[in-house]
A = this chain, B = another copy of it.
Amino acid sequence: MRIAVDVMGGDHGCGVVIEGVKSALNSNDRIRGVYLVGNRQDVEAAVKKVGLDGERVQIVHASEVLTMNDKPVVGLRRKKDCSILKAVDLVKDGHAQAIISPGNTGGVVAASTIRLRQLPEVDRPVIATVIPTPKGGFVLLDSGANVECRPFHLLQFAVMGSVYSREVLGCAKPRVGLLSIGTEESKGNELTLEAFKFCNSCRPDILNFVGNVEGHDLFAGRVDVVVCDGFIGNIVLKTCESMAAELFNWFKSELQKNPVRRFGALLAKNAFLNIKNRVDPDTYGGAPLLGLNGLVMITHGSAKKKAIKNAVLFAAEAVQHHINEVITDEIQQTYAKLEKDRLISPSTTTS
């Protein structure tokens, strides 16, 4: 297995990305090699500084970078030799099986979709983000790739999220829920009411579908995979991230307000550290873009060593578990089941 790493797109330069790659290579022997894609001069200097060399590392030159300020499609059209496109092409041409990029999310989604194309019968690639909770965490998808969705898309997201949760995160029988405003089958909007029927038809053999879930259920440990369109998913993801960060800051400032509180906080320090470690987004490294011919792992632009390391390791895990073959197989099973239940006719096109 080989992994292509776009080392240029992040906020902190290629050095920290290469440190993360080194750390991942040291902890997983089954990664046969990595391609470091970026400006050769910069990458060579960073590789030397970090002390990463040997047969497993190959540098691929890219003269341009898609920055956070570039508009995805326009930027890709102008910068034909940018690092993300070159990294994607390594997968397209069969040299690597996965891509890691800390770059412009829209750019990574566009480059990957244009060059790799969707898996058979998958209409749209989807971003799956793990949100940590006191009770373990759940996969939220779509967390931002598709603003407008149709019911079939949500069914496909459900299958892809379920496969990722099982094969990569190790959840034996992931409980899949459709994000709505009431648990009853009759509650929801046009999109979710129709998607409910499709998901329900695939229960229990293909999907461990638990029905509608509400905002209340997300942090109560009642569901492992939460499915919604990318507009809602992105809002929920960013709301949770921001709420957690602001609450922690609030606790911190309240605990600093006088010497007695500061001493109390010191005694209880490990309690706070335990929680902080458990909700650390770097634990999962990044969010996979699922549904394409190749595995794409998108990290935060601000990703440092730990996040990059974990992104590489989760990507390796996904490749080792052949998740794309499993997704293709299960998506085909869902279509067979929907036909059998007469929810679609054999000639239905979904895209």
Residues of B contacting A271 with CB < 8 Å? 251, 254-255, 257, 261, 264-265
Copies of this protein in the assembly total 2
A147-B189, A217-B242, A266-B264 known; A251 vs B234 contact (CB < 8 Å): no
Bound form: Cα–Cα A93–B151 in Å: 46
User: B189, A214: Cβ atoms under 8 Å?
Assistant: no
Bound form: Cα–Cα A235–B183 in Å: 12
User: A214, B243: Cβ atoms under 8 Å?
Assistant: no
User: B218, A239: Cβ atoms under 8 Å?
Assistant: yes
Bound form: Cα–Cα A247–B131 in Å: 13
- Residue in B148, B230, B268 whose beta carbon sits within 8 Å of that of A255 in the complex: B268
A217-B242, A218-B239, A264-B266 known; A232 vs B232 contact (CB < 8 Å): yes
Nearest CB on B from A268, distance (A) = 3
- Let me know if A47 is at the binding interface, CB within 8 A: no
- Let me know if A274 is at the binding interface, CB within 8 A: yes
Residues of B contacting A243 with CB < 8 Å? 218-219, 240, 243-244
Chain A interface, >50% SS class? helix
Nearest CB on B from A239, distance (A) = 4
Identify the closest chain B residue to A257 (Cβ).
B271
- Let me know if A181 is at the binding interface, CB within 8 A: yes
- Let me know if A68 is at the binding interface, CB within 8 A: no
- Let me know if A172 is at the binding interface, CB within 8 A: no
Residues of B contacting A220 with CB < 8 Å? 242, 246
A sample of 15 more A-B contacts (CB under 8 A), given A181-B235, A188-B231, A251-B251, is A133-B246, A147-B189, A214-B234, A215-B234, A215-B237, A215-B238, A215-B239, A236-B239, A244-B247, A250-B275, A254-B275, A261-B270, A264-B265, A264-B269, A265-B268
List residues of chain A with CB under 8 Å of any chain B CB. 133-135, 144, 147-148, 179-181, 188-190, 214-220, 228, 230-232, 234-247, 249-251, 254-255, 257, 260-261, 263-272, 274-275
Closest 6 pairs between A and B when the two form their complex, measured CB to CB? A215-B238, A264-B267, A264-B268, A215-B239, A254-B271, A134-B250
Listed by A's residue number, 6 A-B pairs whose Cβ atoms lie within 8 Å are: A134-B247, A215-B236, A228-B235, A243-B244, A263-B264, A268-B268
